[in-house]
Structure 1
Amino acid sequence: MTEQHAHRFERGTDGPKVIVVGVDGSASSLRAAAYAGGLARRQHALLAVVYVQPVLAAGAALGAPVAETTDEIAEGLVAQIREATERVRGIFDVRWEFHTFRGDPYGGLVKAADELTADAVVVGASEQAGHRIVGSVAVRLVKAGRWPVTVVP
């Protein structure tokens, strides 16, 4: 059995079991989380919400409290997600986990998808103009070709 065929769907269990969604607090990432939550609910999949904490060596060298700030962002995102799930409890039940990885957004999401054995990855479209030229995280994930990737506008 080749490595490509090692992951096979079983009859009656087709569909994603783990859906990874990248969140960073931006409007597009929160729309992606909402979309992924609906997908996870319909598919009875685990929603793995991933925040990639940036590693800003330059900021740390200047004495900026980078880790504290990114930890606060992660805590804020968890609070937002908990609040949203409480509002729909009993109407829409979704199994979810929150994970934090460190690094650049692309590398962090790849690591998360690998470690969490993702069957699908959902991300928000980049809102930065420069990404049209250089390539966004979403485009890089699609080009990696390792998971189905949904980009939410």
Structure 2
Amino acid sequence: MPRFERGTDGPKVIVVGVDGSDSSLRAAAYAGGLARRQRALLAVVYVQPVSAAGAVLGAPVAEATDAIAEDLVAQIREAAERVKGLFEVRWEFHTFRGDPYTGLVRAADELKADAVVVGASEQAGHRIVGSVAIRLVKAGRWPVTVVP
């Protein structure tokens, strides 16, 4: 039985994780360039954090994260309009709920990603516990590019 191979003719789908941080926006710009050069689909993924404590206390977490997602889509559309005619990139925006690692894994699996691009963590605690990027690399399921 033939086995499905990814990446033999260049990437078809590049997943990039964004959360509004400077490093994630740099990752999106880098991934956009990769997608343009490879004529791949750029799947921009925002993982909306779910706070169990916030949900129990009745905090409007979903509304806040929905607003962040809407802002990210607006920024992406604005950037795409600025380069329209110069650079054409096919892109789509996806949101998932949960922790960033699980959400990105789910997105990459569902979208059949050939590559995953993320920004380097800006949180000091991740040097000890491990960042999303490190966990994605250790998963070893896709090529992962970490953008500083």
TM-score by length of 1: 0.94
Give the secondary-structure state (helix, strand or coil) at the position aligned to 1:147.
coil
Once superposed, which parts of structure 1, at least 4 consecutive aligned residues long, lie more than 6 Å away? none
- Equivalences for 1:118-129 in 2 at 5 Å? 118-129=113-124
Aligned to 2:5: 7
Cα offset, 1:63, TM superposition: 1.4
Distance in 1, matches of 2:59 and 2:129, equals 28
**Closer, same or farther in 2 for the Cα pair 1:38/1:51, shift >3 Å?**
same
Alignment of 1:126-141 (within 5 A): 126-141=121-136
Query: CA 1:140/1:96 → structure 2, altered by over 3 Å: closer, same or farther?
Result: same
Name the residue aligned to 1:31: 26
| CA distance 1:8–1:120, shift in 2 (3 Å) | closer
Are 2:138 and 1:143 aligned?
Answer: yes
After alignment, is 43-52 or 55-64 more displaced? 55-64
Question: In structure 2, what is the Cα distance between the partners aligned to 1:43 and 1:98?
Answer: 19
Matched, 1:96 2:91: yes
Does residue 81 (structure 1) correspond to residue 76 (structure 2)? The answer is yes
How far residue 61 of structure 1 moved from its aligned partner, in angstroms, is 1.1
Q: Point out where structure 1 has 5 or more consecutive residues left out of the alignment.
A: none
Residues 89-108 of structure 1: CA distance to partner in whole angstroms, max 9, x if unpaired? 00010000000001100000
Distance 1:7 1:111 in 2: 19
Structure 2 CA distance for aligned equivalents of residues 8 and 80 of structure 1: 30
Structure 1: distance between partners of 2:137 and 2:121: 13
Tell me the CA shift for residue 66 of structure 1.
Answer: 0.4
Q: Which one-letter code corresponds to 2:26 in the other structure?
A: R
Counterpart CA distance in 1 for 2:101 and 2:126 is 13
Is 1:62 equivalent to 2:57 in the alignment? yes
CA distance in 2, matches of 1:33, 1:9: 20
- Count, aligned residues: 148
Identical pairs, percent = 86
SS of residue matched to 2:44: strand
CA RMSD of aligned residues (A): 1.2
Query: Residues 8, 122 of structure 1: CA spacing in aligned structure 2 closer, same or farther, 3 A cutoff?
Result: closer
Structure 2 residue matching 1:29: 3-state secondary structure: helix
- Aligned partners of 2:6 and 2:114 also within 8 Å: no
TM-score, with structure 2 as normaliser: 0.97
